Amino acid sequence: MTSSSALPTSFASLDLSPLVSYGWDDAWADEFAPHHSEGLVAGRVIRVDRGQCDVATADGVIRADTAFVTPHDPMRVVCTGDWVAVEPSGHPRYVRAYLPRRTAFVRSTSSKRSEGQILAANVDHAVVAVSLAVELDLGRVERFLALAWESGAQPVVVLTKADLVPDPVTLGHLVQDVETSAPGVPVLTVSSETGEGLDVLEAVLAGGTAVLLGQSGAGKSTLANALLGADVMEVQATRDMDGKGRHTTTTRNLLVLPGGGVLIDTPGLRGVGLWDAETGVGQVFAEIEAFAADCRFQDCAHVAEPGCAVLEALDSGALPERRLDSYRKLIRENQRIVAKTDARVRAEIRRDWKRKGAEGRAAMEAKRGRW
C-alpha cells in the first residue's frame, strides 16, 4: 500500500490532521488522491437529510448538496459515514464522489422491489442496543446480528438499563440467554444512569467507527449522551405502559467520542429486513452450521431428511428448538430477498466491500501500532 507521505507534495503538505478524529488514515488518503488532483476537498459525512449533507472537513463542517451522486439505486446514495470529495467553493457546494466503502450496514426497504437501503458506511463495530426494561426478544437480536455480521463490522450487544435489574443472578441469566443467541459476539451490560459498564464499552469503541442500532426505547440516545459526556442527543421518556420509546433520533448522526473513535446514532428501527445476509445468518447460527456439516446430504434442508445431524442435535437437546425455528425463518426470508434482487450487482458490491474492509483493517492496525 502506498503511504500518504509518497503522494504528490501538494497533497501531502495539506494539514488534514483534523480529520484523524473522524477516522482518516493513510488508506483513505490513497483513495482520495485522484480527487485532490481535481481540486476537490476531503471530508466525512456526519448527517444526511433531504438531498443535502453535513460534511466534516479539515476546515470545519460544511453543508453540501448530493444531487450529483444520488442515483436511482438506493445502495449508491451518499450516507452517514461516507468519505466524500466535495467542491472547494460555491453555493451550494456539491459532493462530487464518495470513496469506495469498506463496510456498509444494509437492510431491505419496505418496497415491493426488495431494494437494499444503506443505513451507515465504513463501520468497524455494530452496537446492538437491547433494553432490559422489557422482555428480551432474542429473535430480533439475532436478526440485527445477521445484518451486522453481513455488513463486515464486528457486532457488539449492549444490554441497556441494567440498573433496572438489580438482582445479579437474574441479570446473569439474561446475559447468558443473549450470549447463547450471539456466538462470537461480546455481550455487555450498561447503565447510562449509573455509569456501570460504560468504561468497557468506551474501550471497545475507541479508535474506530461504531453504529448504534436498536428499537425505539432501547436507550440508544441516552447511551450516546453517556458516551459523549454531554446531552447532545435529545431524549424522550419511554411510555410507562409498554416500555416502548418514541423516535427520538430522526436522522443518522456521526459524532466524535471524547475517548476516541466516532459513533453513528440511528433512529429506532421497527422494521429490520434482511438484504442478502446469508453469511451473516450463518455466523449468528454458527452452531447450526457446524451440526449441518455432518448431515448425510450436502443440500439437507433440516426438515425430515434421514441422517440430518441438525435434527439429531434437536432431539438430543443439544440444539434448542427456538434457535432452529429462528434460523429457518431468517433463511427463508433471505432466500426470498435474494430471489428478487440482482445477484451480479450484489456480488460486485460485496467483493468491493470485503477488499476495502481488509485494506482498512490493515491500515487501522498499522496506525494503532504507531500510536
pLDDT at 239: 34
Q: Which three cell numbers stand for residue 145?
A: 446480528
Q: pLDDT tens-digit profile of 154-171?
A: 999 999 999 999 999 999
Residue positions counted in the chain: 371
Segment 12-34 shows an average pLDDT of 87
Closest residue by Cα to residue 273 from 172, 84, 159, 146? 146
Work out the average pLDDT over 18-27.
94
**The Cα angle at residue 150 between residues 145 and 154, in degrees rounded to 5:** 65
How high is the pLDDT of residue 7? 45
DSSP string, 25-57: -HHHHHHHHHHHTTT-EEEEEEEEETTEEEEEE
Confidence of residue 6 (pLDDT cuts 50, 70, 90): very low
Residue 32 has pLDDT above 80, yes or no: yes
User: Average pLDDT, stretch 21-33?
Assistant: 94
Dump pLDDT digits (tens) for 312-323. 999 999 999 999
More confident residue, 50 or 9: 50
For the segment 176-181, the average pLDDT, to the nearest whole number, is 95
For 240-277, the pLDDT digits (tens) are 334 444 444 446 789 999 989 999 988 755 556 666 67
pLDDT number for residue 9:
45
pTM of the prediction?
0.80
The three cell numbers of residue 317 are 437437546
Instruction: Outline where DSSP puts E strands in 207-350.
Output: 209-213, 253-256, 262-265
Is pLDDT above 70 for 148? yes
- Tell me the mean pLDDT in the region 161-182: 95
Listed ranges 13-22, 143-152, 156-165; the one with the highest mean pLDDT = 156-165
The least confident of 8-22, 64-78, 174-188, 234-248 is: 234-248
Q: Using CA atoms, how far apart are residues 255 and 103, in angstroms rounded to an integer? A: 18
pLDDT at 230: 72
Query: ∠ CA 291-297-301 to the nearest 5 degrees?
Result: 70
> What does the alpha-carbon distance between residue 49 and residue 71 come to, in Å, rounded to a whole number?
16
Q: Which tens digits make up the pLDDT trace of 311-357?
A: 999 999 999 999 999 999 998 888 777 766 666 556 666 666 666 66
